[in-house]
Chain A
């Protein structure tokens, strides 16, 4: 059984889980208006650390982001008996943009190696003497839940005994200007599920949960029962009008309504997200259980959200409390659901955490302190590799056979599109990395030869890389560098989430199954193998479009993509 053995939240509301929970229960919020911050032309409302708090968090020799993660881990690790130097301890970092604020510095812009998320994760791992290679989960706004699901699986496969899972994001001009270009921000405190909601607020925080699968460990009664990630297969930024992915993610949990104290929704307070969630919850049959959201206290803490909101929810259940949704006055969503707008009592012992994000991804997790909720039986898996495609700036091979091409670099991808696809003009809207992944998937699926575009939920898309979304990151940074020529573009910003590529493949092929994106310090075959094996612990997943899609520049990239099948069903 995968148990929670320690946790911590570092946020503008406090430096421990207990401080944070007390503040939330008292109805406090760290959201406030920021004018002229980071020279941004538009003001914004967000939950940000104060200068005094940063003084407490900042570590010499580390970036803001790394210091924040180190602060949270330092508050967590001493209280649990985990051997950090063991080969059986894994560190999983959940972040959407990690060190991206460094790109504003011309030094990092021209030499971004130190900015990369996998490098940051390694710095942090080295700080604590963690010996295994860390994994960065970069699955947009569902990263926190996706990281907990990955950790649970890696413990269940028996590869590791303990997992340290930390989610964090630091706000910056980069992120705020991007969300402003999406017109997604509320000028005032956000109002999840309210009739007058107009958008979200951003927030910064780090949150850590340490998980263990060791029988001997003295743990809290909390454990992860089940979790699933599903895609809308609809749009890279707009949520599905039918709540498709969230509905399907909820169904993977098998969590009876009568056993849940509450469901802690994403509740970003954008018009479309909250409406979508209400429809998904309604479709999944959750009509009477209380639904709440915590964005009115913290804003959207991005990579931290899934972990932070799970911890607050555990504290609430420990305190027999269903928390109020701060900002909610009048229900403004169409789904037949019961919203919590005041602190209420409960005697139930489990809850569901729900998230959704760009790239069409949705994640749900059932967490319980009731010992009757044992984890489901785990089958051991081994996958078989079927077809594979390799693309470099100068060569293409399909199942080892070279494909004759005339162009190189970015032009090679356009040549392949014209020759092998040609009827999907959205290709031209994609950034270079997404074009690379898209074309590799097209060649792969054409080679597989099965009927295309048949909706399915049993195929996952799980991709890895090293440089995250570096090209799109640089383009977005260039659009905001000059105050007098300040035009952040939504169609550039959306590709600053590398998991968009998994969403594009899901949309094209109508794949409603899991979509996940991981960043590693290097192309580590052993680690990729472990993650892919663990991915088959989602009992619906029978095959995976998997591989490495990395793009340093328009002329330096590599894709190795393959289909893996679940051997146990052969």
Chain B
């Protein structure tokens, strides 16, 4: 179980990094898919999330193909951050 604090922090970072101006942390469900219809994210956003993880948590993802499973949902990102910190 990942902690709520990290989840909320991640939501804030995602909103900032991806310029999701009209979205609040409460609009993003922990388990909902980030890509696809939900937030309307695209391939540049996926790359931007890689930069965000490196900048905020010092975690480097060399192969962008790995991003697909990591960025499935806020929960999956939190789990990844938790296990790589």
Residues of chain A with a CB closer than 8 A to B63's CB? 183
Q: With A235-B42, A487-B55 as known contacts, state yes or no: A429 contacts B47, CB within 8 Å.
A: no
A489 and chain B: residue at smallest CB distance = B51
Q: What's the nearest-Cβ distance from chain B to residue A319, in Å? A: 40
> In the complex, are the beta carbons of B47 and A181 less than 8 A apart?
yes
Cβ–Cβ contact A183 & B64, under 8 A: yes
* Nearest CB in chain A: distance from B78 CB, A: 21
| Interchain CB contact under 8 A, B44 and A426 | no
CB <8 Å contact, A491 and B45: yes
Structural contact, B43 and A489, CB atoms closer than 8 A: no
Residue of A nearest to B62 (CB): A183
Given A425-B20, A428-B19, A429-B19, A238-B51 contact (CB < 8 Å): no
A429 nearest CB neighbor, chain B only: B19
Total of A-B residue pairs, C-beta within 8 Å? 43
Interface residue from A428, A487, A488, A491 paired with B44 (Cβ < 8 Å): A491
Asked if A428 contacts B42 (CB within 8 A), the reply is no
User: B19 — which chain A residues lie within 8 A by C-beta?
Assistant: 428-429, 491
Contact with B along A434-476 (1 / 0, CB 8 A): 0000000000000000000000000000000000000000000
Known contacts A490-B44, A491-B44, A428 near B55 by CB under 8 Å: no
A237 cross-chain contacts in B, Cβ below 8 A: 43-44
Question: A109: CB under 8 A from chain B?
Answer: no
> Is the CB–CB distance between B21 and A425 below 8 Å?
yes
Tell me which residues from 9 to 35 in chain B have a Cβ below 8 Å from any Cβ of chain A: 18-22
Q: Does B54 contact A (CB under 8 A)?
A: yes
- A357 → chain B closest CB, angstroms: 15
The docked-state distance in angstroms from the alpha carbon of A426 to that of B21 is: 9
In the complex where A425-B22, A428-B19, A429-B18 touch, is A183 in contact with B47 (Cβ < 8 A)? Answer: yes
> Which residues of chain B are within 8 angstroms of A181 by Cβ–Cβ distance?
47, 51
Given A425-B20, A428-B21: A494 and B44 within 8 A (CB)? yes
Residues of A within 8 A of B54 (CB): 487
Query: For B40, what are the chain A residues with a Cβ–Cβ distance below 8 Å?
Result: 425-426
CB contacts (< 8 Å) of A429 on chain B: these are 18-19, 44
- Interface SS, B side: helix
Which chain A residue shows the least CB distance to B61?
A183
In angstroms, Cα B54 to Cα A491, docked, is 15
Minimum CB–CB distance from A73 to chain B (whole Å) comes to 37
Contact of A428 among B20, B45, B64 (CB under 8 A): B20
Asked if B4 CB lies within 8 Å of chain A CBs, one says no
Q: How far is the CB of B49 from chain A (nearest CB, A)?
A: 10
Chain A 219-238, CB-CB to B under 8 Å as 1, else 0, gives: 00000000000000001111
- The answer, yes or no, to whether B82 is at the interface (CB within 8 Å) is no
Neighbouring A residues of B50 by C-beta, 8 Å: 183
Q: Is the CB of A490 within 8 A of B47?
A: yes
Q: Please give the number of chain B residues whose Cβ is less than 8 angstroms from any Cβ of chain A in the complex.
A: 18
Q: How far is the CA of A43 from the CA of B8 in the complex (A)?
A: 36
Q: Kindly state the separation between the CA atoms of A315 and B22 in the bound complex, as whole angstroms.
A: 55
Residues of chain A with a CB closer than 8 A to B22's CB: 425, 428
Chain B nearest Cβ from A493, distance in angstroms: 9
Determine the distance from Cα of A487 to Cα of B56 in the docked complex, in whole angstroms: 11
Report the separation of the CA atoms of residues A487 and B54 in the bound assembly, to the nearest whole angstrom: 8
Kindly state the separation between the CA atoms of A426 and B22 in the bound complex, as whole angstroms. 11
Please provide the chain A residues from 478 to 511 with a CB less than 8 Å away from any CB of chain B in the complex. Answer: 487-491, 494
CB-CB contacts of A179-192 with B at 8 A, as 1s and 0s? 00111000000000
- Bound: A164/B44 CA distance, A: 37
Give the residues in chain A near B42, CB-CB below 8 Å: 235, 238
Expressed in whole angstroms, the Cα–Cα distance for A487 and B49 within the complex equals 12
Contacts of A425 in B (CB 8 A): 20-22, 40
- Give Cα distance in the complex from A428 to B45, angstroms: 13
Q: What's the minimum C-beta distance from A70 to chain B, rounded to whole angstroms?
A: 36
State in angstroms the CA–CA spacing of A344 and B22 once bound together: 58
Residues of B within 8 A of A490 (CB): 44, 47-48, 51
What B residues does A236 contact at CB under 8 A? 44
Q: In whole angstroms, how far apart are the Cα atoms of A93 and B39 in the complex?
A: 40
Q: Mark A417-437, 1 if CB is under 8 A from B, else 0.
A: 000000001101100000000
**From residue A445, how far is it (CB to closest CB) to chain B in Å?**
21
The contact of B47 among A182, A235, A426, by CB within 8 Å, is A182
**Cα(A183)–Cα(B64), bound, Å:** 7
Tell me the A176-212 residues at the B interface (CB within 8 Å).
181-183
* Residue in chain A with minimal CB distance to B40: A425
Residues of B contacting A488 in the complex (Cβ-Cβ under 8 angstroms): 51
Residue on B with the closest CB to A235? B42
Q: A490-B48, A490-B51 are in contact. List 17 more A-B contacts (CB 8 A).
A: A183-B63, A237-B43, A238-B42, A238-B43, A425-B21, A425-B40, A428-B22, A429-B18, A429-B19, A487-B51, A487-B54, A488-B51, A489-B51, A490-B44, A491-B45, A491-B47, A494-B44
22 contacts between A and B (CB under 8 A): A181-B51, A183-B50, A183-B63, A235-B42, A235-B43, A236-B44, A238-B42, A425-B21, A426-B40, A428-B20, A428-B22, A429-B19, A487-B51, A487-B54, A489-B48, A489-B51, A490-B44, A490-B47, A490-B48, A491-B18, A491-B48, A494-B44
Nearest 9 Cβ contacts at the A-B interface: A428-B21, A490-B47, A183-B64, A428-B19, A429-B19, A491-B48, A487-B55, A238-B43, A491-B44
